[in-house]
Amino acid sequence: MKAVILAGGYGTRLSEETGEVPKPMLPIGGHPILWHIMKIYAAHGIADFVICCGYKGSIIKDYFLNYYHRNSDFTIDLCSNTIEIARPAREPWRVTLVDTGLESMTGGRIKRIAPHIGNETFCLTYGDGVSDVDIRKLVEFHRAQGAKATVTAVRQPGRFGSLDLSEDLYRVKGIREKSVLDGQTINGGFFVLEPSIFDLIDSDYTVWEEGPLEALVSAGELSVYRHDGFWQNMDTLRDKNFLQSLWDSDSPPWRIWA
């Protein structure tokens, strides 16, 4: 199974940090938050990634092109022009980096990576949020529900669009954006999707969270996996500093890998 990560947006709410690098490359504990997200998936056995690049995507590509040497100890012999690797960095990852356009919306980026997915069920999440969600249980839940899409619902006060849930809590009845009347159940990303969702995306300018998700809701095809554990996105500098403080505590709740 592949995990698709949306990593192409401008990150305008973090403009003080994203002028030089894209938001998914902002470091937490010396590693880009993108790396943390990938470590979460890999800890659950998903190590085949498709990264949707856009704004400053070349920085993300350069990071992975140089990953081996960037994360290894090595000795350079300048006389013979050789490199001896002392402590090789090894992640069991396969990473496909796709230019999904500078101005594409979230749906457009998803549509562009369809050729890399084929007819397989796949995971999707945003490139700025970490969680201790159990990906294996999430996938099992999705398969048991038989829906075209599953979204992870998390509890978070404030600025985010809310999900109205059915009485049995297994289907989404409606989506509302940023209303003070909304409850605290929000779209936390960490989707599991069937490839048929590509048919719901019209163009680069389609916003995944609007037309496609609304169509899935109308058809009763969006199930919800409730996660009551840790979840935090990095929407603002305050969020970034909060995540860094958790990492510095030596027990960040999303670090589920050994």
Question: Whole-prediction pTM value?
Answer: 0.88
pLDDT in tens, 100-121: 999 999 999 999 999 999 999 9
Residues 6+ apart with CB under 8 A from 49: 2, 3, 4, 5, 38, 41, 93, 94, 95, 96
Distance CA(239)–CA(248), nearest Å, equals 14
High-pLDDT (> 70) share of the chain, %: 91
Residue 48's CB: how many other CB atoms inside 10 A?
Answer: 18
The conformation of residue 195, written as its DSSP 8-state character, comes to: G
> What is the average per-residue pLDDT within 131-136?
97
> What is the average per-residue pLDDT within 122-136?
97
Q: Give 161-166's long-range contacts (Cβ < 8 A, gap of 24+).
A: 161/186, 161/187, 161/209, 162/186, 163/187, 163/224, 165/224
Does pLDDT of 180 surpass 50? no
User: CATH fold of 2-248, please?
Assistant: Spore Coat Polysaccharide Biosynthesis Protein SpsA; Chain A (3.90.550)
pLDDT in tens, 238-247: 999 999 999 9
